[in-house]
Structure 1
């Protein structure tokens, strides 16, 4: 089967990852991924805040039953939430995904669930999920592709009150070296991005946002920049096979720098900093360290 059209959440992902992935402002982070002989995949991640020493993390296990097209996923986090998901893919029909997801917190007896469905094809990709509670929210998205062009639409619908809560539309264009992406949400916030692979060593990108979610790294913890337009420029330079440098800057005069090094097979370390250049002496400079282990 030919390569399928991406899902709506994956539109613009190359540019988004260039500005987000590899930066750990204000935290210590460790990720560990391993695969057992029996085929169970374990993934552990932990974060420690440098401001208040709060530690959070999660432990996830995933097991695939290839003959039945099933994937079983379980996850626990330090907020004492238990998550479980059963996913069935491609066996009833090529490209069809069906899944049931549930979460439960023993301390409060709070529980929730979700039914998910997706259908992927060479020319389109449809996703939908609906809550299994008393006030279900239906989320739907559709991406249509034609040659190098992509178009998508997404909605959030309150089934109980028959009310459209949110909508979004996106347009994109992509080839082997460049990806353009534009998105409009609820008619008042928008995003435009460009990812460009300049060479085997250099990846570059620009992102322009307005409205909610359009803040720089200073807004990463929930602070918003109102209706301001924020322009981000970023790049990744691959020094060699096992090392790279990241850099980004925006019109809020925040400068992000990062370095990643593969220490040995299965061990990768990264350091990063986000500097407030408006007030370099007493500004809110944040540094971070990440370790990724895989075996």
Structure 2
């Protein structure tokens, strides 16, 4: 018996195929290096093609796998200091505790969250407490023979009210999977599928309907084709006529470039299209 995925990862294969590797509208740079003692340094930069604004952050991560302790700290160009402490299998087997902090020194704005993640065969539970906002969130996924059933509830401790509740069901196998989500207090409905057709081709699709909005259903389908061991292409299109294209190439070990484009096929003669580039360097 295996541990199921987290609630937010139900239908992840379909979601990743339709959303990842499409760096449209900006230019991204990621540099990741690992020191001999295991400390990981990562620098991220992102330039918005429309506004020209550049944002980024520098991150340091150290993991003591023997004692199950991981420390991560980051400093952003917005002068936000983020920290994360992870303790895994320290108090109990299958239990992971996380403390996430954020500080904006210029206005003394603080935030802190405590996550408790518990995994065991057929059950995956995540509980989150927002310390300053006193919001408590818990989600649980149960699995059996590939079938997944999950629920999520957000509760405001001070108000004594349930602020949000969601549900999801799915089925995941090695080469295919389907997922059905009820979000935004069960008013937003989505269904998705993923199919690993063969070693070179993957396909997925997603349909979404907001019962409080328009009566129309938003539909999106996409595919990923592996060209060789170093490159792949992606394509997707929505019923709104927006075509997404992406090409990813590993130039050499540790160097990867990703090109993306978003084309509005209903406005070909207008300036409604977006291009993007992502470069990743890693030792």
Q: Determine helix, strand or coil for the equivalent of 1:14.
A: helix
Q: CA deviation at 1:24?
A: 1.2
> How far, CA to CA, are the matches of 2:233 and 2:99 in structure 1?
40
Q: What's the counterpart of residue 200 of structure 2?
A: 201
Q: After the TM superposition, which segments of 4 or more aligned residues of structure 1 sit over 3 Å from their partners?
A: 225-228
Indicate if the aligned counterparts of 1:58 and 1:78 stay in contact, CA closer than 8 A: yes
Q: CA deviation at 1:211?
A: 2.9
> In structure 2, do the counterparts of structure 1 residues 87 and 227 end up closer, same or farther at CA, with 3 Å as the change threshold?
farther
> In structure 2, do the counterparts of structure 1 residues 60 and 211 end up closer, same or farther at CA, with 3 Å as the change threshold?
farther
- The number of equivalent residue pairs is 281
> How far, CA to CA, are the matches of 2:124 and 2:226 in structure 1?
33
Q: What's the counterpart of residue 165 of structure 2?
A: 167
Alignment of 1:209-288 (within 5 A): 209-211=208-210, 228-288=216-276
> How far, CA to CA, are the matches of 2:263 and 2:214 in structure 1?
21
> How far, CA to CA, are the matches of 1:187 and 1:66 in structure 2?
40
Q: Determine helix, strand or coil for the equivalent of 1:9.
A: helix
Q: Determine helix, strand or coil for the equivalent of 2:66.
A: helix
Q: What's the counterpart of residue 282 of structure 2?
A: 294
> How far, CA to CA, are the matches of 1:118 and 1:29 in structure 2?
31
Range 38-47 or range 244-253, more displaced: 38-47
Indicate if the aligned counterparts of 1:267 and 1:291 stay in contact, CA closer than 8 A: yes
Q: CA deviation at 1:92?
A: 2.3
Q: CA deviation at 1:228?
A: 3.8
> How far, CA to CA, are the matches of 1:163 and 1:79 in structure 2?
34
Alignment of 1:114-133 (within 5 A): 114-133=113-132
Alignment of 1:1-295 (within 5 A): 3-133=2-132, 135-185=133-183, 186-211=185-210, 228-295=216-283
> How far, CA to CA, are the matches of 1:266 and 1:13 in structure 2?
25
> How far, CA to CA, are the matches of 2:42 and 2:95 in structure 1?
26
Q: Determine helix, strand or coil for the equivalent of 1:64.
A: strand
Q: CA deviation at 1:120?
A: 0.7
Alpha-carbon RMSD: 1.4
Q: TM-score, normalised by structure 1?
A: 0.92
Indicate if the aligned counterparts of 2:2 and 2:122 stay in contact, CA closer than 8 A: no
Q: Determine helix, strand or coil for the equivalent of 2:4.
A: coil
